Amino acid sequence: DAGITQSPRHKVTETGTPVTLRCHQTENHRYMYWYRQDPGHGLRLIHYSYGVKDTDKGEVSDGYSVSRSKTEDFLLTLESATSSQTSVYFCAISDGGLAGSEQYFGPGTRLTVT
Amino acid sequence: DAKTTQPNSMESNEEEPVHLPCNHSTISGTDYIHWYRQLPSQGPEYVIHGLTSNVNNRMASLAIAEDRKSSTLILHRATLRDAAVYYCILRAGYYGQNFVFGPGTRLSVLP
């Protein structure tokens, strides 16, 4: 299995509080992605990174920011959590950014915003 | 982004082959066809991908129609561990960032 960990694995927080989720990889892969998964929507891309300090927005980026200061870590921040951000969040990595490359997913973080 | 359509659910008997269909009639020439699966409470797992030619790996085979408007994931001998949601995805974009998961096909494997 690809070396991807996510922390925390579960979190409950209140509306309006900031939340940071961490994705850590030991594979030295260049590309990293954050997705959210909600019933009826499959997985949707939030942000992605194509190198240290190189990030861009995905399909559902509003209300989220990311940072990547080193290859192994990709942080997802909810500046002010809302109930609509209750979801399961998955991080993924890839050693090739092109469309023909595989992605490896982490175990997920279940976030509940009350 | 090009979209895919899959049946909501399928059933198979254990140790029999399974053919999971996917339609992608608006596929573009640079879209790769990827298949992932997801077991309950786990992250998606890569299964196979291809561009134009049929592909085989240790997990499955991917048959791509000549016009690329449809594809079929083939599990040669289904096991109970293959029960999962299977996603057919078209991946595009310079950084492969156009990677849209639909609702997928829930495969049940009967003993």
Interchain CB contact of B105 with A (< 8 Å): no
Average pLDDT over residues B21-47: 92
Burial class of residue B41 in the structure, from the number of CB atoms within 10 Å of its CB (0-12 exposed, 13-18 middle, 19+ buried): exposed
Interface test with B, best of A29, A105, A109, A110 (most B CBs within 10 A): A105
Tell me, what DSSP letter sits at residue B80?
A: G
Report pLDDT for A59: 87
Report pLDDT for B95: 66
More confident residue, B30 or A86: A86
% of chain B exceeding 90 in pLDDT: 74
pLDDT band at B94 (very low <50, low <70, confident <90, very high): low
How would DSSP label each residue in A76-91?
EEESS--GGG-EEEEE
- Residue-wise burial string across B15-35, b where 16 or more C-beta atoms lie within 10 A, e elsewhere: eeebebebbbeebeeebbbbb
Report pLDDT for A41: 74
Interchain CB contact of A86 with B (< 8 Å): no
pLDDT band at A101 (very low <50, low <70, confident <90, very high): confident
CB A29 within 8 A of CB A50: no
Tell me, what DSSP letter sits at residue B82?
A: G
Mean pLDDT, all residues of chain B: 91
Chain B residues within an 8 Å CB radius of A33: 97, 99
Interchain CB contact of B28 with A (< 8 Å): no
Report pLDDT for A20: 98
Q: Does residue A71 register a pLDDT over 90? A: yes
Interchain CB contact of A100 with B (< 8 Å): yes
Report pLDDT for B96: 65
Mean pLDDT, all residues of chain A: 93
Average pLDDT over residues A36-43: 84
Nearest to A33 by CA among A43, A41, A42, A19: A43
Q: Does residue B63 register a pLDDT over 80? A: yes
Q: Does residue A1 register a pLDDT over 60? A: no
| CA nearest to B47 within chain A | A102
Which of A11-15, A18-22, A101-105, B72-76 has the weakest average pLDDT? A101-105
Return the structure tokens found at A114.
């009350």
Chain B residues within an 8 Å CB radius of A44: 100-101
Query: B99–A102: do the CB atoms touch at under 8 Å?
Result: no
**What is the spatial distance between Cα B78 and Cα A27, in angstroms, rounded to a whole number?**
31
Tell me, what DSSP letter sits at residue B31?
A: P
